[in-house]
Structure 1
Amino acid sequence: MHSQFRLLGQRRFLPFYLTQFSGAFNDNLYKNALLLLITYSAGGLMGLSVDVVVNFAAFLFILPFFLFSGIAGQLADKYEKSRIIRAVKFLEIVIMALAAVALWFGWYEVLLVLLFLMGTQSTFFGPVKYAILPQVLADDELVGGNALVGMGTFVAILLGTIAAGLLMGYETAARLTAIGVVVMAVLGYLAARQVPQTAAAAGDLRLSLRPVRETWHLMVLAAERRQVLLAVLAISWFWFLGAAYLTQFPNFARTNLRGDETVVTLLLALFTIGISVGSMLCERLTGHRVSLRLVPWGALGLSLLGVDLYFSVPEAPVPSTWLTMLTDPVYLRVLVDLMGIGIAGGLFIVPLYAYIQHETPFGKRARLIAALNVINALFMVVSALVAMVLLGVLDFTIPEFLLSLSLTNLLVVASAWRLARVAVSPSCG
């Protein structure tokens, strides 16, 4: 058996990997830079408070997944995938060129419209991203390939977020961001041009351009096979949890750890490194086979480490920096728990993606991935609403909120055991 990293030296995988990495980086560079500019420079838009505008911006980015995933899934099944990837990446250059002009001149309302268009571009890339993998990878490479894509996505999110924060330290932050997003879009397109051709999955598929109806059809498609639907829901639950953790990090660091901005970056970095490590372990632990046996253990880790995180938060924190966090044993337990939660998340999610790709019919695969994207988006919206109710209305502290999620996750652990026992595919040995 070979290591998954050898895929990074092969044309069937590397150009696609670089394309998706640059896209995830650029999405987060642009989105976070825009949110920081609105927060610190614009002081609210259209007479609205900063809080309202920031949440509205997040809504604008996720809305296209509900509107256009049905159409995106059809296109990815009907047409040759490298052609779609190139078209989507060219669209990114156009959007980012317009964004560069708007950033240069401080046209924040235009930047919000372009954020919606970036979400649209991501919506059309999503189904291709995961549907192409089973076409270019062998069955015994599928877990490793998904692990690399998962790791790359989270590392790109981290680097894009950090880059946005670093750029805000300069007086010309908006103009530097303008240059950065265009350069990344061009690099992504150049990588996309090297993605090799694959066979169209369902060339005779008739396209329907009615967004709401097609989104509903995706839900029907997802429900066709119970085991696949459960795997889809499990992935979406992971994004529910992930969104909750990532959203709370800034306030958790400030309020519960009395940390400065460097502590927020450290928490984000360790969480991301954890997910990457967990993802990379999957191939070795599954013996290169498409198997769900790691999923219950990952789910159990999310609960146990989440509970321990609640008890590891110091009762009387002292002002801290990233160095305090790494050297003070009181804080070190918090960091170990967060990294462990990330590792458990990687073990949980990578086998699920590989299983869905492996078990879905070739001609419907992209549409099922599109359905998954819709449900992911829905779970992330619900995650934000639950956080608003528990933290804002019921006055939970952030540690109490995260503890409640960890305890709720025990239901997922029970479901994951049943799914792993039932969903044994021929390739699982």
Structure 2
Amino acid sequence: MLLTLLRSRRFAPLFACQLFAAFNDNFIKNALAILILFQLGGSSGPMLVTLAGALFILPFFVLSALGGELADRYDKARVARATKAGEIGVALIAAVGFLIASAPLLFLALFLTGCLSALFGPVKYGILPDHLARDELVAGNALIESATFLAILAGTVGGGIMVAEASPWAIAAVTLVVSLLAYVFSTRIPPSGERAPGLRIDPNIARSTAALLRDLKRQPRLWTGAIAVSCFWLVGAVVLSLLPPLVKDPLGGRESLVTLFLVVFTVGIAIGSLAAAQLSRRRIRLGLTPVGGALVGVFSLDLAFATAGMAPAATSVGWSDFLRSAADLRIVADLLGIAAGGGLFVVPAFAFLQAEAGEDHRARVIAANNVLNAAFIVGGSLILIGLQAAGLSTSTLIGLVGALSLAGAPLMWRALSGAVRLEAQAR
């Protein structure tokens, strides 16, 4: 089924459009971070990098509701084309910012990128059930999730490498070419039709966001699915935040080892997502979600035990120096297992959310889920900062993630079982 979808006009253009768009988002974000840290930021570099991350995530709080309303009111393919056309303009701003090394222009481009990503989010996931059958949703989501993480990795690594090795003209060219490719593929996405043509767009984004969350809360099945998806993004954000300090302190590694761990994590997400598609056998099997959560817990705890009390190597370790002992292989296997468990966790939960949302308000359900995702990520990041400030080691924090994941797995099982019972009663 996976190859059939990749060859299908119903899915392939959206897949490619999302792939290039996610690459460009992270290319710009990481290139800006590297420029700030090593060239433009001076002593304020770390603070400015944190500000850049906040500027990118802020629009998901503010504009997701509007994106959901637009995607339900108008043809989703038309909205996709409009957002990708807007990204060409943003890419021009970013290109000029790279050419003249202007932090204000690059910050503006990053914020606008976040705005367009927030508007596109309800489209890319809301349109899947319009073009795919229910028994294709798990496979479609598995491919989208795998492609998204691969694009995030490629954009993050590519942005860092090009700032260090390439000319500003090359960086600007990549930004523009990738945005053009995303737009070209967006023009090939088949029309979805207007699912709620009578919907009135609420210009008060605070009111519409609050109403969106209230409506989601009133639907227990959808609320449970959204909470499950948000838990995935929470754990993913925390683990990714812990990778650089894990490499630096217990392992004594260099930047290249962080890149290796990012590659392993991305491959793990893809493995878990594709495994969910294969194990589902053309059905949405929510039982895989708590199993994935338990795997995240087990591998996180083992990673914590494997790295606890380690003394950094006498000389800094790069990726080529790693993987020379059983202890190194254990760490990589644990990281791969955490990511694979995450992929297995999220794909059935998100497919369930899409399938159960009514077609006349599906995009708004996805938008509400995006707001919850952002809230979980920000909340988790703030808690993580507080625990780090309190002196907890990176290994301890990873162990805490594992313990909470294991404890939460049976609770997630009960919640999702309840959602399935409600679904059966509704039918």
Question: Considering the TM-score relative to the shorter chain, is it more than 0.5?
Answer: yes
Task: Give the whole-Å Cα distance in 2 for the aligned partners of 1:121 and 1:169.
Answer: 27
Once the two structures are superposed, residues 13-36 of structure 1 have per-residue CA deviations (whole angstroms, 9 ceiling, x without a partner) of 101100001010000000000010
Per-residue deviation, residues 43-78 of structure 1 (Å, max 9, x unmatched)? 34xxx7112111111111111111111111100000
Alpha-carbon distance between aligned partners in 2 of 1:28 and 1:380, rounded to the nearest angstrom:
17
Write out per-residue CA displacement over residues 215-247 of structure 1, whole angstroms, 9 at most, x where no aligned residue.
Answer: 101111211211221211111111111111112
SS of equivalent to 1:168: helix
Q: Using the alignment, how far apart are the partners of 1:299 and 1:94 within structure 2?
A: 41
Paired letter, 2:363:
A
Residue 272 in structure 1 maps to residue 270 in structure 2: no
Q: Which residue type is aligned with residue 420 of structure 1? A: L
Distance in 1 between residues matched to 2:111 and 2:344, nearest whole Å: 32
Equivalent in the alignment of 1:142: 137
| Matched letter for residue 244 of structure 2 | P
Cα pair 1:292 1:352 within 8 Å, conserved? yes
Deviation at 1:386, TM superposition (A): 1.1
Residue of structure 1 in register with 2:213 after alignment = 219
Question: Following superposition of structure 1 onto structure 2, how do residues 166-177 of structure 1 map, counting pairs within 5 Å?
Answer: 166-170=161-165, 172=167, 174-177=168-171
Matched, 1:71 2:69: no
Out of 105, 108, 112, which is 1:110 matched to? Answer: 105
Equivalence for 2:11:
13
Within-5 A mapping of 1:396-411: 396-411=392-407
Distance 2:62 2:351 in 1: 26
Give, in whole Å, the separation in 2 of the partners of 1:275 and 1:288: 20
- Provide the rounded CA distance (Å) in 1 between the counterparts of 2:194 and 2:250: 52
Which residue number in structure 1 is paired with residue 2 of structure 2? 4
1:27-42 to 2 correspondence within 5 Å? 27-42=25-40
CA distance in structure 2 between the partners assigned to 1:52 and 1:211 by the alignment: 29
Contact 2:249 2:312 in 1 (8 A): no
In structure 2, C-alpha distance between the alignment counterparts of 1:81 and 1:195, rounded to whole Å: 9
Q: Would the aligned equivalents of 1:135 and 1:198 in 2 still touch at CA under 8 Å?
A: yes
- Residue in 2 aligned with 1:344? 341
SS of 1:303's equivalent? helix
Does the CA-based 8 Å contact 1:292-1:423 persist in structure 2? no
> Which residue of 2 is the match for residue 414 of structure 1?
410
Query: Is 1:85–1:128's contact at 8 Å kept on the other side of the alignment?
Result: yes
Residue aligning to 2:242? 248
Q: Aligned to 1:362, what secondary structure does the other structure show?
A: coil
Q: CA deviation at 1:168?
A: 2.4
Match of 2:153 in 1: 158
> Where do residues 47-86 of structure 1 align in structure 2 (5 Å cutoff)?
49-86=44-81
Alignment CA distance shift 1:323-1:218 (3 Å): same
RMSD after superposition: 1.6
Distance in 2 between residues matched to 1:358 and 1:309, nearest whole Å:
35
Q: Which runs of 4+ in 1 moved over 4 A?
A: none
Q: TM-score, normalised by structure 2?
A: 0.96
Distance 2:311 2:53 in 1: 33
Measured in 2, the distance between the counterparts of 1:163 and 1:111 equals 17
Could you state the TM-score of these two structures normalised by the residue count of structure 1? 0.95
User: How far is the alpha carbon of 1:138 from its aligned partner?
Assistant: 0.8
Cα distance in 1, alignment partners of residues 90 and 26 from structure 2:
14
SS of 1:264's equivalent?
helix
Could you tell me how far apart the structure 2 residues matched to 1:42 and 1:248 are? Answer: 25
Letter in structure 1 aligned against 2:41: G
Q: Is the 8 A contact 1:310 1:403 kept in 2?
A: yes
Whole-Å separation in 1 of the counterparts to 2:97 and 2:289:
45
Query: How many Å separate the matches in 1 of 2:83 and 2:252?
Result: 43
Aligned to 1:187: 181
- Whichever residue aligns with residue 52 of structure 1, its letter is M
1:30·1:177 contact (CA, 8 Å) conserved in 2? no
The Cα of 1:179 is off from its aligned counterpart by 1.3
What residue identity is the alignment partner of 1:36? Answer: I
What is the percentage of aligned positions where both structures have the same residue? 38
Instruction: Give structure 2 stretches of 5+ with no counterpart.
Output: none
* One-letter amino acid matched to 2:376: F
Quote how far apart the aligned CAs of 1:410 are.
2.9
Q: Quick check: 1:331 aligned with 2:314?
A: no
- Larger deviation, residues 248-257 vs 359-368: 248-257
Instruction: For 1:227 and 1:106, locate their aligned partners in 2 and report how far apart those are by CA, in whole Å.
Output: 49
Aligned residue pairs total 421
Contact 1:234 1:412 in 2 (8 A): no
Matches within 5 A, 1:316-395: 316-318=311-313, 319-392=316-389, 394-395=390-391
Do the aligned partners of 1:298 and 1:346 also contact (CA within 8 Å) in 2? yes
Shift of 1:171: 5.6
Distance 2:12 2:166 in 1: 37
- 1:286 is aligned, of 280, 284, 295, to 280
C-alpha distance in structure 1 between counterparts of 2:12 and 2:281, whole Å:
23
Q: In 2, are the aligned partners of 1:274 and 1:340 still within 8 Å (CA)?
A: yes
Per the TM alignment, residue 189 of structure 1 is displaced from its structure 2 partner at its CA by: 0.5
Whole-angstrom distance in 2 between the partners of 1:4 and 1:288: 11
